[in-house]
């Protein structure tokens, strides 16, 4: 049985964005059952958990003695097990890998930079000074992504793959802004991917423990 480690609760601004959502979605697309191991903010720093996830983050993945961390690596491991996410043609597989890395390396860092300013440091003088440049860089990246997507339904044509799963979860990071919506083709692409039943189930399963374990003041 697959065990997926995730947080038992996070603040509302992070709910629906925690990276275990990517793995949950991949597992749903693949039809692979799993069980949750929910941890809190203290448990992530325990020696036992750090031996599984050296950085104290989520998700972590365990199956038959195999232990993995980093959402991109886990999604690729799961994706390779199902034609739903992983094409059979080797050249197309290579392209899917390229887009997965692009989501994590070319888009997500800019998303995270803006989110960290807006959600954690908005009132800091340095953040107010830096934000316009950070937003501009993200806008450029999103415009480049929109150009690459063009009129295609998905990144590699008419078929949804693990690349789209990864890219969609990255695009969600800026949900507190209108930056993705300002690129109509990207907004339609995001909504198309989020309409998949597997995504809806994965999101529901991530949010459930947050509701159940919400502190009284949340």
The length of the chain in residues reads: 218
> CA 172 → CA 51, 103, 125, distances in Å?
30, 12, 27
DSSP string of 175-200? Answer: TTSSTTTTSHHHHHHHHHHHTSHHHH
190's tokens: 């995001």
Whether the per-residue pLDDT at 218 is higher than 70: the answer is no
User: Which has the closest alpha carbon to 7: 212, 209, 216, 204?
Assistant: 209
On whether the CB atoms of residues 3 and 37 are closer than 8 A, the answer is: yes
Task: For residue 197, give every residue at least 6 positions away whose Cβ sits within 8 Å of its Cβ, in sequence order, or none.
Answer: 28
DSSP string of 132-178? Answer: HHHHHHHHHHHHHHHHHHTT-SBTTBSS--HHHHHHHHHHGGGTTSS
Rounded to the nearest integer, the mean pLDDT of the chain is 97
Peptide bond into 43 cis (omega under 30): no
Look at residue 80 in the predicted model and tell me its pLDDT.
97
Model pTM? 0.97
On whether the CB atoms of residues 54 and 69 are closer than 8 A, the answer is: yes
Q: Domain segments of the chain: what residues?
A: 2-83+198-212, 90-196
Sign of the CA dihedral with 10 first, then 13, 15, and 21 last:
negative
Q: How confident is the model at residue 216 (pLDDT cuts 50, 70, 90)?
A: confident
- 153-191 pLDDT per residue, tens: 999 999 999 999 999 999 999 999 999 999 999 999 999
Q: Is 90 exposed, middle or buried (0-12, 13-18, 19+ CB in 10 A)?
A: exposed
* Topology annotation, domain 90-196: Glutathione S-transferase Yfyf (Class Pi); Chain A, domain 2 (1.20.1050)
- 52-68 pLDDT per residue, tens: 999 999 999 999 999 99
**pLDDT above 90 covers what percent of the chain?**
97
CB atoms within 10 A of CB 81: 14
Class of CATH domain 2-83+198-212: alpha beta
Q: State how far the Cα of 128 lies from the Cα of 7, in Å rounded to an integer.
A: 31
3-state secondary structure of 28: helix
């Amino acid at each position: 049985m697959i065990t997926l480690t995730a947080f038992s609760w996070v603040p509302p601004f992070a709910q629906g964005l925690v990276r275990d959502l990517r793995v949950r979605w991949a597992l749903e697309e693949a039809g692979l059952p799993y069980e949750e191991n929910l941890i809190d903010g203290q448990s992530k720093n325990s020696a036992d958990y750090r031996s599984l996830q050296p950085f104290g983050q989520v998700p972590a993945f365990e199956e038959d003695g195999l232990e993995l961390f980093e959402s991109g690596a886990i999604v690729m491991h799961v994706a390779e097990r199902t034609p739903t996410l992983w094409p059979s043609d080797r050249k197309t597989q290579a392209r899917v890998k390229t887009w997965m890395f692009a989501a994590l390396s070319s888009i997500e860092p800019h998303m995270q930079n803006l989110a960290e300013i807006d959600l954690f440091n908005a009132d800091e003088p340095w953040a107010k000074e830096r934000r316009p440049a950070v937003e501009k860089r993200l806008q450029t990246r999103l415009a480049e992504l929109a150009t690459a997507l063009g009129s295609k339904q998905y990144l590699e044509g008419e078929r949804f793959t693990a690349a789209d799963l990864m890219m969609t979860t990255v695009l969600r990071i800026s949900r507190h802004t209108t930056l993705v919506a300002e690129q109509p083709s990207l907004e339609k692409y995001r909504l198309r991917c989020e309409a998949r039943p597997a995504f809806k189930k994965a999101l529901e399963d991530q949010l459930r423990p947050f509701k159940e374990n919400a502190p009284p003041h949340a």
